[in-house]
Structure 1
Amino acid sequence: MLVQVLLIISSAALSSCDVAHLEEISTEPPPPRPYAFSYTAGRYPGHADRQHAEVSDGSGVVRGTFSYVDPRHKVRTVDYVADKEGFHPVLSDVPPEHPADSESVAAAKDRHFQLYAKIAEEHAQHPFPDETSVPRQSEAVKAAAAKHAQLFRVIAEQHARIAAERELLQQEEEEKLHLQELGQEQ
């Protein structure tokens, strides 16, 4: 009990104290922490096909380089700077342009586009195919379609019979309930 009284008195005394004479203390931001790292890696021991190195001065500017072996087995290197303005890569070697079509590829493309244009024109003139161009069913397909249609009719008849039986049973149940209600009222 004495401890509680002392705590209440001390907290009241501290809350009414004048702290204007204390100066404001602020925490300085930590000093820049520069770093540097690099690594080299490969797909199997003793083989290096990529490397990366990066250095930061601690003030937000990062400089680095990475290299890799492209599918044509040529080493590609990218030097970069990342700062407040963004990421700025510089390729050391511009990748090659896409290869030009050979004569046979160009001729095949031309034939393809001509055929495409011919088909598009035919479809524009006759948007709906006539009976002669519609594929015809073989005897096996006709027989399977007829069997399917017959099975569908049988199933539809069974469903109709079951629905009628169910409706009849439901009417009988409703009549029983109605008669019970009438018997209870009397």
Structure 2
Amino acid sequence: MRGVVITLVALLGVSLADVSHIVPHNSGITETTSPSPPSPYSFQYAAGRYPGHIDRVHQEAGDDVGTIHGMYSYVDPKFKVRTVEYIADKTGFHPHLTNFEDTQTVPVDSEAVQLAKQKHQALYEHIANAHAQGVPANAPAESASVLRAKERHLRLYSKIADQHAAIAAEREAERLAFEATSVANDVEERQIY
């Protein structure tokens, strides 16, 4: 048994060995082949969400010049069959939709939406006219609490700005005092052997 394991390990090692030195190298020359011309093909299928119920089909055929003709149909969530017939060639993808008219119609506004649009338009025109005359439209008035909060904010801002200015002056004085009392180090460099 031990001999069989050793033999298997040896064979495995040989099979995983690097053989790149045996394969001739083309010194950077690569060969390219042009793609093969299109081959004619054809397929079709029908599928459903459960056995015996087909809710989608697809057919497609390609010729030897690369033109593809196809069609697929499906049942949408409203139980309406939608069909797309298409041709794909060198000029692009060309679909023809069948039974999609309801997806491309513009929805009609309800009475409530129409009234809201009219109200919005009237308000917009009122504000635009007021701005054109330089009159602020419905400028908000400041309440007493807002005025008190603004005054408190300005007092705190001034106090903090004064404290920052005092700290900056102290640091500048310290820097100048340090420079006035400092002696430059003129240490000669010595060679150590």
2:136 matches 1:136: no
Aligned to 2:84: 78
Aligned to 1:6: none
Match of 1:164 among 160, 169, 177: 169
Distance (Å, rounded) in 1 between the aligned partners of 2:163 and 2:152: 17
2:157 matches 1:152: yes
2:22 matches 1:53: no
Give 1:31 deviation, angstroms: 5.4
Give 1:154 deviation, angstroms: 1.7
Is this contact kept in 1: 2:83–2:97, CA < 8 A?
A: yes
The DSSP-based 3-state class of the residue aligned with 2:168 is: helix
Aligned to 1:121: 129
* Residue deviations 1:144-185 (CA, integer Å, cap 9, x gap): 2222222212211110011001100111122123xx24x96x
Aligned residues: 151
Is this contact kept in 1: 2:130–2:136, CA < 8 A?
A: no
The DSSP-based 3-state class of the residue aligned with 2:94 is: strand
The DSSP-based 3-state class of the residue aligned with 1:64 is: strand
Greater share of residues in helix: 1
Pair 45,168 (structure 1): closer, same or farther in 2 beyond 3 Å: farther
Distance (Å, rounded) in 2 between the aligned partners of 1:173 and 1:38: 91
With the length of structure 1 as denominator, give the TM-score of the two structures: 0.62
Percent identity among equivalent residues?
47
Give 1:39 deviation, angstroms: 5.5
The gaps in structure 1 that reach 5 residues or longer are 1-26
Distance (Å, rounded) in 1 between the aligned partners of 2:120 and 2:147: 36
